[in-house]
Copies of this chain bind each other. A is one copy, B any other.
Amino acid sequence: MPTQQRSKATVEAILAAAAQVFRRHGYAATTTDRIAQRAGVSVGSLYQYFPNKDAILVTLAERHIDAGFALVRLLLREALAETPPLAAMLRRFVLAMIVLHEHEPELHRVLFEEAPLPSHVRRRLRERENELASEVSRLLEAHPEACVRSPDVTAYVIVHTVDSLVHSFVLHPPKDIDADMMTNEAVRMLLRHLTAEGS
């Protein structure tokens, strides 16, 4: 619907403002009027481009999801081409996930922990995770060091372990444990699991 340059700018302004307001005030306290005000446009304009408040949330979430997974997938593709040592690969994967979560963590928290994302968005998120798991699975089958019985299950466990570990760690950082320690520990654990004899 937005064809002129001006209207695209409006849409972007609305999304940027929405990101700020959601981040600062949480889901419930975010009103369309506030978003419009912060964006420097009127509510009318907002409703020209988004049918309702949740549509803005959904757009933000989908962008976040897609950008994030695109990044990680890119990284995996590189890994598949280069075939670096398994340890290095795992470390890169964990670090990528950390970068992903450290980008706008508070917005991330509101989007994925607090807001009532409609089920199709949650489904999309899970689909992306599963795609990622598939790629990891292929990577495991191809890698000479890796030695796994059922790559699918192993890949699922790896992806979800890293994802949720990093998620917890970045969004609710425990004192006494820094990112390096956590990364090392996780990498060591995964490495041992992937290279153990007899599986």
Q: Which residues of A pack against B, CB within 8 Å? A: 26-28, 113-116, 122, 126, 130, 150, 152-154, 156-157, 160-161, 164-165, 167-169, 172, 174, 176-177, 181-182, 185-186, 188-190, 192-193, 196, 199
Contact = CB atoms under 8 A, between A and B. Distances in A.
Given A153-B182, A164-B160, A199 B188 contact: yes
Q: Is the interface of A mostly helix, strand, loop or mixed?
A: helix
A156 B172 contact: no
Contacts of A186: 157
A129 B63 CA distance: 32
Contacts of A27: 116
A165 B157 contact: yes
Contacts of A28: 116
Given A27-B116, A116-B114, A164-B167, A188 B193 contact: yes
